[in-house]
Amino acid sequence: MTLELNAGDQSMLQGAHGPAAAAAMKILVAFSNAVGARKLLDIAGAHIDGCLYHGKAGLDFVERLVGGGGRVLVPTTLNVGSFDLIHPGMVKMPAAEEVPARRLMKAHIELGCQATFTCAPYQTRFRPAFGEQIAWGESNAIVFANSVIGARTNRYGDFIDLCCAMTGRAPAWGLHLSENRRGRILFELTDAAFEPTDALFVGVGLIVGQASGDCVPVISGLPQPRDEDQLKALGAAAATTGAVALFHAVGITPEAKTLDEAFHGMAPDETIRISRADINHALAKLSSVPDGAPLVAVSLGTPHFSHDEWMRLLPMLRHIAPGRGVPIYVNTGRATLTRLQDEGALAGMEAFGLIPVADTCTYVTAILERLDGVVMTNSGKWAHYAPGNIGVSVAFADMRDCIRSAAVGHVVRSVS
């Protein structure tokens, strides 16, 4: 199969737009040939997952593009980095790591990317529209864009997402194409009385991620969510335990008004039923400690907290006796943080243990004051990754139980 390049692609490949653009196009062409794409398509935007410092090779790659005069050609947001540039004093990082971590974030800005530094670019002014072709990295952002918004992207990894941004092009393959967006596996919730709790959406996501493989899942019987943050939690969990880049929730997500639409008029390859016991079992595996275990911290906002989530959280904090609870770290995007500060919503909230974190996330950067105990979270993604990444024990529960637990200093969970 031969990749067709238009005149603009050829011109860029031959260096008419400078060495950095030529290098990006060369890499994109090689990638497109590897995945069997027949042509490239225009994209409306990109989201770059390469700001997190993993070593010198990543920084060298971006520095070379900067040195070659590279610039992104479409609106391009940046995922979290390894450093909180807003609150630098919180980060515990040796200078030998801090300098390249900061430099990597800055180098992306020099390429013309937007300094968003959030894993939830869909919460910014750069949110794509239904049907728009985009090239996004970051697993939760990808599944949210495809599923909840109905934009179109594949799971792009480090470097390829940036090459797409610098060329304004992406390979026409996978989820960019309508025929590949049809559902393949049906997940049926068997209990008609499921309440739309945050934990339900996390639990369903965990199960769907583990069982979907590389197929597009369709979920039926899911109650109407309170807001899109519950769908965000479902997608993040599914992309964490598996490789889900798109799910359809019948009667909820935009490409699944009906079961027939979700499957493009075809029958599912397989049907999997999800019971209340299945969900309870999936959620139980997120916690490694029992109720009553002493806490050292609470961590919320993975993916980054939205403004709506903050509005749910802040009234809960006022039930904590000032100066008595454990620290409550909340990861959020700098645009959301700026809005809250402009509204005066965070004034005085540090007395209740609140510690906002921007530009990064507490499971990838050394921010938590203590790692020698239990951290409680309402995030399936945080609970899944934190034990391996930073060595903490985890207790999972919904936000209200996290705050109740923070107030008393040990794990308290409601009876489900």
The CATH number linked to 369 is: 3.30.499.10
What whole-number percentage of the chain has pLDDT above 70?
99
Task: List pLDDT tens digits, range 327-343.
Answer: 999 999 999 999 999 99
The C-alpha atoms of residue 328 and residue 402 are separated, in whole angstroms, by 9
- The confidence score (pLDDT) of residue 170 equals 98
Let me know if residue 375 belongs to a domain.
Answer: yes
Instruction: Tell whether 132 and 229 lie within a shared domain.
Output: no
The CATH number linked to 132 is: 3.30.499
Task: List pLDDT tens digits, range 92-133.
Answer: 999 999 999 999 999 999 999 999 999 999 999 999 999 999
Let me know if residue 2 belongs to a domain.
Answer: no
Task: List Cα–Cα distances, 126 to 270, 333, 335, 347, 356, in angstroms.
Answer: 37, 13, 11, 28, 23
Q: What is the DSSP string of 145-173?
A: IIIII--B-----TTHHHHHHHHTEEES-
142 closest CA partner among 37, 254, 238: 238
Instruction: Tell whether 93 and 222 lie within a shared domain.
Output: no
Task: List pLDDT tens digits, range 135-178.
Answer: 999 999 999 999 999 999 999 999 999 999 999 999 999 999 99
Task: List Cα–Cα distances, 235 to 104, 146, 230, 249, in angstroms.
Answer: 28, 10, 9, 11
Burial bucket for residue 351 (CB in 10 Å: 0-12, 13-18, 19+): middle
Identify the domain boundary among 121, 151, 178.
178
Let me know if residue 1 belongs to a domain.
Answer: no
Q: Which H or E element spans position 181? A: none
Structural domains in the chain (count): 3
Three-state DSSP state, 299 = strand
Instruction: Tell whether 266 and 342 lie within a shared domain.
Output: no
- The confidence score (pLDDT) of residue 50 equals 96
Instruction: Tell whether 341 and 234 lie within a shared domain.
Output: no
Let me know if residue 290 belongs to a domain.
Answer: no
* Residue 312 CB coordination number (10 Å): 16
The C-alpha atoms of residue 407 and residue 416 are separated, in whole angstroms, by 21
Task: List pLDDT tens digits, range 198-229.
Answer: 999 999 999 999 999 999 999 999 999 999 99
323 pLDDT more than 90: no
- The confidence score (pLDDT) of residue 308 equals 98
322 pLDDT more than 90: no
Mean pLDDT for 388-394 is 96
Mean pLDDT for 387-395 is 96
Q: Which residues contact 394 (CB under 8 A, 6 or more apart)?
A: 286, 287, 288, 289, 374, 375, 376, 377, 382, 383, 386, 387
Burial annotation 271-299 (CB, 10 A radius, 16+ → b, else e): ebebeeebbeebbeebbebeeebebbbbb
Let me know if residue 148 belongs to a domain.
Answer: yes
Of the pLDDT bands very low, low, confident and very high (cuts 50, 70, 90), residue 268 is very high
The C-alpha atoms of residue 137 and residue 164 are separated, in whole angstroms, by 11
Instruction: Tell whether 164 and 23 lie within a shared domain.
Output: yes
**Please, are residues 231 and 139 in contact by the beta-carbon 8 Å criterion?**
no
> Taking the complete model, does pTM exceed 0.95, yes or no?
yes
Q: How far apart are the first and last CA of the chain?
A: 54
Whole-number mean pLDDT of the chain? 96
- The confidence score (pLDDT) of residue 56 equals 94
| SS3 readout for 306-321 | CHHHHHHHHHHHCCCC
Whether the CA torsion 346, 351, 353, 356 is positive or negative: it is: positive
1 pLDDT more than 80: no
Let me know if residue 235 belongs to a domain.
Answer: yes
The C-alpha atoms of residue 292 and residue 88 are separated, in whole angstroms, by 34
Of the pLDDT bands very low, low, confident and very high (cuts 50, 70, 90), residue 416 is low
- The confidence score (pLDDT) of residue 350 equals 94
- The confidence score (pLDDT) of residue 289 equals 96
Identify the domain boundary among 123, 149, 178.
178
Task: List pLDDT tens digits, range 59-88.
Answer: 999 999 999 999 999 999 999 999 999 999
Let me know if residue 200 belongs to a domain.
Answer: yes
**Please, are residues 35 and 174 in contact by the beta-carbon 8 Å criterion?**
yes
Identify the domain boundary among 128, 154, 178.
178
Instruction: Tell whether 340 and 389 lie within a shared domain.
Output: yes
Task: Show the domain range for 329.
Answer: 295-408
Instruction: Tell whether 277 and 303 lie within a shared domain.
Output: no
31 closest CA partner among 175, 163, 215, 167: 163
Instruction: Tell whether 22 and 165 lie within a shared domain.
Output: yes
Instruction: Tell whether 299 and 268 lie within a shared domain.
Output: no
- The confidence score (pLDDT) of residue 325 equals 85
Instruction: Tell whether 250 and 187 lie within a shared domain.
Output: yes
